[in-house]
Structure 1
Amino acid sequence: MSKTKSSILSRRVGITALIVVGMTLAAGAGAYAATKMSLVVNGKKSTVEPVSIKGVTYVPIRSAAEMLGATVNYNASSNSVMITSKPEKSPLGDAGNEAIGSVNGVSITRNQLYAAMVGVGGAQTLDNLIQDELIKQEAAKKGIVISDKDVDAEIAIIKKRFPSEAEFQTALQQAGMTLEDLKKQTPMQLRIRKIIEPSVKVTDADVKQFFEANKAEFDVPEQVKASHILVATKAEADEIVKQLKAGADFAKLAKEKSTDVGSGAAGGDLGYFSKGAMVPEFENAAFSLKVGELSEPIKSEYGYHIIKVTDHKAAKAATLAEKQAEIKEQLISQKVQELSYTWLTELKAKSKITNSLKGK
Structure 2
Amino acid sequence: MKKFDVSILAAAVLLLALAVVGLSEGEKEDPAVAKVGDVTITESQFSDALKHKYGIRVMDQLIADALITQEAKQQGVTIDEAELEKQVDALKKSLGSDEAFRRSLEKKGFNEQTFREALKIVMLKDKLFEKAYPVTEEQIKEYYDKNKEKLGNPVPTLEQAREKIKEKLAGKNRAKYQDEWIKGLEKKYGPTLLDPVLAKQKASEEE
TM over 0.5: yes
Residue of structure 2 equivalent to 1:92: 24
Q: For 1:210 and 1:331, how far apart are their aligned partners in 2?
A: 9
Gaps of 5+ in 1: 1-89, 221-315
The alignment covers a number of residue pairs equal to 166
Q: For 2:140 and 2:115, how far apart are their aligned partners in 1?
A: 29
Q: Return the offset for 1:205.
A: 3.0
Kept after mapping to 2: 8 A contact 1:139/1:145:
yes
Kept after mapping to 1: 8 A contact 2:63/2:191:
no
Residue of structure 1 equivalent to 2:72: 139
Q: Does 1:359 align with 2:200?
A: yes
Q: Letter of the aligned partner of 1:353 in structure 2?
A: T
Q: Return the offset for 1:100.
A: 2.5
Residue of structure 1 equivalent to 2:161: 323
Q: Letter of the aligned partner of 1:126 in structure 2?
A: M
Which protein has the larger Cα radius of gyration, Structure 1 or Structure 2?
Answer: 1
Alpha-carbon displacement from aligned partner over 1:29-83 (angstroms, at most 9, x marks no partner): xxxxxxxxxxxxxxxxxxxxxxxxxxxxxxxxxxxxxxxxxxxxxxxxxxxxxxx
Aligned to 1:352, what secondary structure does the other structure show? coil
Q: CA RMSD in A?
A: 3.6
Aligned to 1:121, what secondary structure does the other structure show? helix
Q: For 2:183 and 2:63, how far apart are their aligned partners in 1?
A: 13
1:165–1:108 CA distance, 2 compared to 1 (3 A): closer
Q: For 2:28 and 2:84, how far apart are their aligned partners in 1?
A: 34
Q: Return the offset for 1:110.
A: 0.9
Q: Letter of the aligned partner of 1:196 in structure 2?
A: F
Aligned to 1:101, what secondary structure does the other structure show? strand
Q: Letter of the aligned partner of 2:46 in structure 1?
A: L
Q: Which residue among 104, 108, 126 is the counterpart of 2:59?
A: 126
Identity %: 24
Q: Letter of the aligned partner of 1:101 in structure 2?
A: A
Kept after mapping to 2: 8 A contact 1:96/1:110:
no
Q: Return the offset for 1:112.
A: 0.8
Aligned to 1:219, what secondary structure does the other structure show? coil
Q: For 2:29 and 2:61, how far apart are their aligned partners in 1?
A: 23
Q: For 1:101 and 1:206, how far apart are their aligned partners in 2?
A: 56
**TM-score (norm: length of structure 2):** 0.61
Q: Return the offset for 1:106.
A: 4.2
Q: Letter of the aligned partner of 1:354 in structure 2?
A: L
Residue of structure 2 equivalent to 1:339: 177
Kept after mapping to 2: 8 A contact 1:219/1:318:
yes
Aligned to 2:33, what secondary structure does the other structure show? strand
1:111–1:219 CA distance, 2 compared to 1 (3 A): same
* More strand by percentage: 1
Q: For 1:320 and 1:354, how far apart are their aligned partners in 2?
A: 49
**Higher RCO structure (Cα 8 Å, ≥6 apart):** 2
Gaps of 5+ in 2: 1-21, 202-207
1:182-221 equivalences in 2 (<5 Å) = 185-220=118-153
Residue of structure 1 equivalent to 2:48: 115
**TM-score (norm: length of structure 1):** 0.38
Q: For 2:157 and 2:179, how far apart are their aligned partners in 1?
A: 34
1:204–1:106 CA distance, 2 compared to 1 (3 A): closer
Residue of structure 2 equivalent to 1:233: none
Aligned to 2:34, what secondary structure does the other structure show? strand
1:96–1:190 CA distance, 2 compared to 1 (3 A): farther
